[in-house]
Structures are given as C-alpha cells and as structure tokens.
Structure 1
Amino acid sequence: MTRDRAHDVVVLGDANPDLVLRGDVVPRFGQAEQLVDAADLTLGGSGAIMAAGLARLGVDVAIVAAVGRDPFGDLVLGMLEEHGVATDLVVRRGDLGTGLSVVLSAGTRAILTHAGAIGSLTAADVPAEAVAAARHVHVASPYLVTRLRADLPTVLAGARSSSVDTNDDPARAWADLAALADAAGTLLPNDGEVVLWAQALGHRTDDWLDAAAYVASRGVEVVVKAGAEGGAHVTADGVVRQEPAPVTPVDTTGAGDTFDAAWVAARLAGEPPERALRWAVAAGTLSTQGVGGTAAQPDRDTLLRAVGVLP
C-alpha cells in the first residue's frame, strides 16, 4: 500500500499491544506474587481497535500512528494488517520503543500504559492530502498523542467530516478540550468522560445526560457510551437513547472503540443518527464477548442481524 492512496476513513491516534490479564485479583505490592486466570497479548490502542472495527465492517480504513522499530512495532503492524487496516500511514521511530498497555480485567478494568512512541506523533506526520481525501477522519486518544493534540483543530479543518474520542486524560487537566470540541463534528465520550468534560468547560454536574447536553450546546453532536445503560445521541435539539441487549461481558476492553467504529460505519452508510446509535450499541455489546479489543468485533452481517436488518 502506498501513501498516495485515498482511504474512506483515516484514524489518527494510538496503536500498541495490549497485555490483558484476567482474574479476580487486586494487585498487592511488597513482592506479593498473585496468579491470574488468563493472559492474552492483543492489538491495543483506541485508534488501532477502532480502525480494526471499521475494517471488520468492510470500511476502507488507514491509521496514522507512531510505533518503534522494535519487535512490538513489528507485532502491531502485523496485527493491523491481519485485521485489514492499511498501515501505509504508520510512522516508525528508531529512537523510541512501541507503546504498551497492561490491562487488568477483573469485572472492571485498570490500565497501565507505557506511552513510548505514541506521544511522538505530530501534525507533520499526518498527510494533509490523506485527511482531505478521506470521507471521515477520527481522532483517538489525543491525551496520549500529546504532541499532536494542540494542532488537531487545524488538522480537522481539512477534513470533510470528523469525530473525536478523547478517552481519559491521565493528567485530568483536559488541556485544549474546548478547541478540540469545537473543531470536531462528533464527540464520542463515555458517560464518565462527558461529566469530566462538562466540569472542565465550567458546568458543575454529576449527571452524564446533563453533561452531554451542556457539551452539545456548543453546537456539536455528542454520542455517549454508557455501558449497561447503552448509549445516547445528544444534540441541542434533544436526546435519543438506545438500550443494549442483556449480556454477561467476558472482557470490556475496546468496547467503546468498537461502538465508535460502528457509529462511523453507519453514518458513512447513510444511516440516520437513531439507527447509527443502534448499530453502535449493538457492536459495543457484541465486542464484550471476547478477550481484548478485537476478538469479538462483529462483521457487517453479524451486526445487521443484531439490529434486526438481516434475519
């Protein structure tokens, strides 16, 4: 694949291996050795998982991310290509190692991340022609892609349509949030993040729907992932809710990124917001039935059956 080929979606963000450890274990310090039930090395990074979800749904997608020239970098590139994600825009660093996340999955999740090359991505690494040619540009984890974050409003100005999923800010400072929110066409937070966003933007609330409405009042659509409560599409004109199918999750790693992928795929397919929300909630729910972010991502037919379009 070459850098001059246009892609329907370009994802800007993080790509790294995830080491997912599962078991009913709370880590203890003091050289206490504890046993977990399972360990899996999977494709990780919000950007990479979202891109894999799009590819699984039949969307031509490329990722712009930075990895090292090391075995983990080779692993990430191989995993992306196996999932059908174009890697012609991936940058390899000789002076930095590939990032790595350790995910402790025990009903809830704790994530330890070594950023490595992730934060080295800059606006100079994002080809303007790829952004302009894409039907949609998605930004993942700008609070890990630290050197690119301040330039994202300028980058997104060249996009035909765009979305942003900030994920968490490890510093909880939410720098550049207002400019990023105003530059994006669609914001894709989870219910906890949107409360923190609203608070950072000056609105004191602990209610995620109230927080989403406040953020949407800036003139952007907000699509919220709410776990067991499903999701919501929030604009200045009102709220649409979607409940999930009842399931027992195996692992929730990457469920939000799969939700994002299905939302974008549905909108590119011409689906209205309420139907796109059904796709997104169903995809996120299905993805919890496997370990890691990509193992249970649905293909298009599986997703269409889940939302009742196919028998």
Structure 2
Amino acid sequence: MMPDQQGKRSILVVGSINMDVVSKVERFPQPGETLSGLGTSFFPGGKGANQAAAAAKAGAACSMIGAVGSDPFGDALVGSLEDSGVGVQSVLTKEGTSGLAIITVNADGENHIVLSEGANGLLTAEDAAAEADWDGVYAVLLQNEIPWETGTAVIRSAGEAGVRVWLNPAPAREVPAELLPLLDTLIVNETEAAAVSGILVGDIGSAEAAASELLSRGARRVVVTLGEQGCLYAEAAGDPFAVPAYKVEAADTTAAGDTFIGAFAAACAQGSEAREALRFASAAAAVAVTRQGAQSSIPSKAEVEAFMAGELARK
C-alpha cells in the first residue's frame, strides 16, 4: 500500500479498472437505428479507478486493489493511475481482456454506458484479502463493478479492522439488510437511491425520504446526488442538509459521480467537515463535466480551489 504522505490518512479503493471507448454523437440512436459518430476516443476509466484518481488528485494518499487484463490496455490503465498519484502495487494482471466501457455521449453531454467486465470479474475475495493492508487507512471505497462476493468480503474485513466503509452501489442494485449497518457512508444517485431504499427519488424532498429510510436500516451516513439539483447529506445524529451544484456548461458527464465521491473522501480524510467536503466535491465534479473523458477530466486540488475562488468572486 502507498505509505501515508505528510501525515495524511490514506484512502484505499477496491474496484474496477476499465478502458472507456467513447463515441460522440449528435443524439442517441433509436432501437434498430444506425447513426454516424462524430469521433471515437480511448480514455482510462472504471468507477474504482476513477474514484481512486479523484481522491489522489484531491490531495489524499490513495492506493488501489483491482485487476487489469493481459491485453495491450492493461499497461495503459495502470500507467494512468500512476500518473494520477495512485499506488498500484496491488493492481493485479489477469489472463484475458481488461474491463471495457462502451460509452456514447450526445451533444448535451449526457451518456449511455455498456460495461464488459473483463478482468474486473476475476478479482476474487482471496485477491482482496491478500492485498489489503488496513494500517493507516481512513476509508475503503467500493462500487458494484467487481464481483459482489469480493466487495462483501472487503466490507466485512474492513469492519473487523475498524476501517470506515464507503459504498457507491453502482451499477444500481439492492444492498442486503445485514450489510447496511456495516457502512459508514452510502453514496447514491437517484437511480441507486431508489434501488436500495425502494423510494423513487427525483428531488431534495424525496432524497431526504430515501436517506431517512436507509439510516433507519443501519447506514451511518447517506449522500444522495441529484445532478444539477446538488446533493443531500443525512446522518443518524443531526439534521439533513442540501448542498447546491455549481452551474457549468457540461461537455461530458462520464466521471462526474466518481469525481464527486473521490474528492469527498479525500476532503474528509484531510479533516474537512461534511458540508465543506461536499462543497469541494461538488466543485470538483463541476470542473470534471467541462472536460472530456473519465480520469483525464478529473481536476487537481489546486484546480478545484481556483474554481471555487472564482465562483466566490463572481457572487
């Protein structure tokens, strides 16, 4: 694991590493329709890798447990993480293909994504147990792009070690009732909130209802992200509150949620209170959506702070 730098508490991410194949279109095709694309690019991505890159770029010491394939994409994916400052000693190489995300982005910056798990599907609970070192870890970040059994084993192991577990259940799926009390922080968008809580979410009011339901089931903190409507924060002790989103012109929303999560985790690990950390995370996501790609769009801590200073000066 990457050593803690300058007294910072570290972040460990256990999750997916993908190559994003991104095609730009004017609009999304209808079923059975063929459209001419406006260009195709390759960007290192994957929810786990994106969150790790975001945490590292936001100033946290961060390392990752994951898997890439033995194909030509593998070295590029590991190199991108290293370039972002992520410790990659526990990124394993599996025989076969790396994970792929086939992404279509329309003229409004919205995206459709199809995942091919590749090596991510071969990351086992035994792999994670062999690579995990909980010493000095502030929190472990998990998503749903590796086998559920692997993620569950990590949640239980982290809990036994007294390490905070942050779960972003994406792609959306129900979280078993016995796991919710093991979660320090559950971060969900509207779709994920509905899948986990059973409550449809479309605004701050319904987000608060979903968060309240999840808290009642045992989660300690819940963050519901609502895109342009900002986000809602709720915890067992204290009143919920909303944090507005920054208004920017979106070019590509591919890694916005992952940037938000990684930046939020990094800010918390560095001592920020929840409201301050959420403002920082919202600013990081706002900068990211103005850029193309996944990890290539994630801003540094200095860039986020400069953006926030500029927004404050304009008010």
Equivalent in the alignment of 1:84 = 85
For the aligned residues, what is the CA RMSD? 2.3
- Deviation of the 1:256 alpha carbon: 0.6
Q: What residue is the counterpart of 1:70 in the other structure?
A: 71
- After TM superposition, give the deviation of residue 20 of structure 1 in Å: 1.4
- Counterparts of 1:141 and 1:294, CA distance in 2: 16
* SS across alignment from 1:196: helix
Kindly report which structure 2 residues correspond to 1:147-186, keeping only aligned pairs within 5 A, or say none: 147-157=149-159, 158-169=161-172, 172=173, 174=174, 176-186=175-185
Q: Which amino acid aligns with 2:46?
A: G
Q: Which moved more, 1:254-263 or 1:210-219?
A: 210-219
Percent identical: 27
TM-score by length of 1: 0.87
Query: What corresponds to 2:143 in structure 1?
Result: 141
Where does residue 274 of structure 1 map in the other structure? 275
In structure 2, the CA distance between the partners of 1:205 and 1:244, relative to structure 1 (3 Å rule), is closer
| Mapped partners of 1:306, 1:180: distance in 2 | 37
Contact 2:54 2:259 in 1 (8 A): yes
3-state SS, counterpart of residue 166 of structure 1: coil
User: Per-residue CA shift, 1:154-209, capped at 9, x if unaligned?
Assistant: 2221252231111123xx5x2x533333212111111221122101xxxx444222
The one-letter amino acid of 2:78's match is: L
Structure 1 residue runs of 4 or more that deviate by more than 6 Å after TM superposition: none
2:134 maps to amino acid: A
| Residue equivalent to 1:60 | 61
Gaps of 5+ in 2: 5-9
Q: Which of residues 104, 112, 115 in structure 1 aligns to 2:114?
A: 112
Q: How far apart are the structure 1 equivalents of 2:275 and 2:152?
A: 32
Deviates further, 66-75 or 132-141: 132-141
Structure 2 counterpart of 1:284 = 285
Using the TM superposition, give the Cα deviation of residue 6 of structure 1 relative to its aligned residue in structure 2, in angstroms: 3.7
Match of 2:299 in 1: 298
Measured in 2, the distance between the counterparts of 1:16 and 1:60 equals 22
Q: Distance in 1 between matches of 2:34 and 2:145?
A: 32
CA drift of 1:128 comes to 6.3
> Equivalent residue for 1:101?
101
**Residues 180 and 18 of structure 1, relative CA distance in 2, 3 Å threshold:** farther
CA contact (8 A) 2:166 2:187 kept: yes
Counterpart position of 1:222? 222
Which residue in 2 is equivalent to 1:247?
A: 248
The 3 A distance-change label for structure 1 pair 147 and 250 is same
Number of the residue aligned with 2:193: 194
Letter matched to residue 301 of structure 1: A
Measure how far apart 1:105 and its partner are: 1.3
Aligned length: 298
Change (3 A) 1:159 1:292: farther
Structure 1: where are the runs of 5+ without partners? none
Distance 1:283 1:179 in 2: 33
Shift of 1:127: 4.4
TM normalised by structure 2 equals 0.86
Q: CA 1:147 to 1:131, structure 2 compared with 1: closer, same or farther past 3 Å?
A: same
Q: After superposition, what is the alpha-carbon deviation per residue over 1:252-298, rounded to whole angstroms, capped at 9, x for unaligned?
A: 00101110111111111111111111111111111101111222322
| TM superposition shift of 1:214 | 1.2
CA shift, 1:44, in A, is: 0.9
**CA 162–39 in structure 1, closer or farther in 2 if over 3 Å, else same:** same
**Closer, same or farther: CA 299–166 of 1 in aligned 2, 3 Å:** same
Shift of 1:244: 1.5
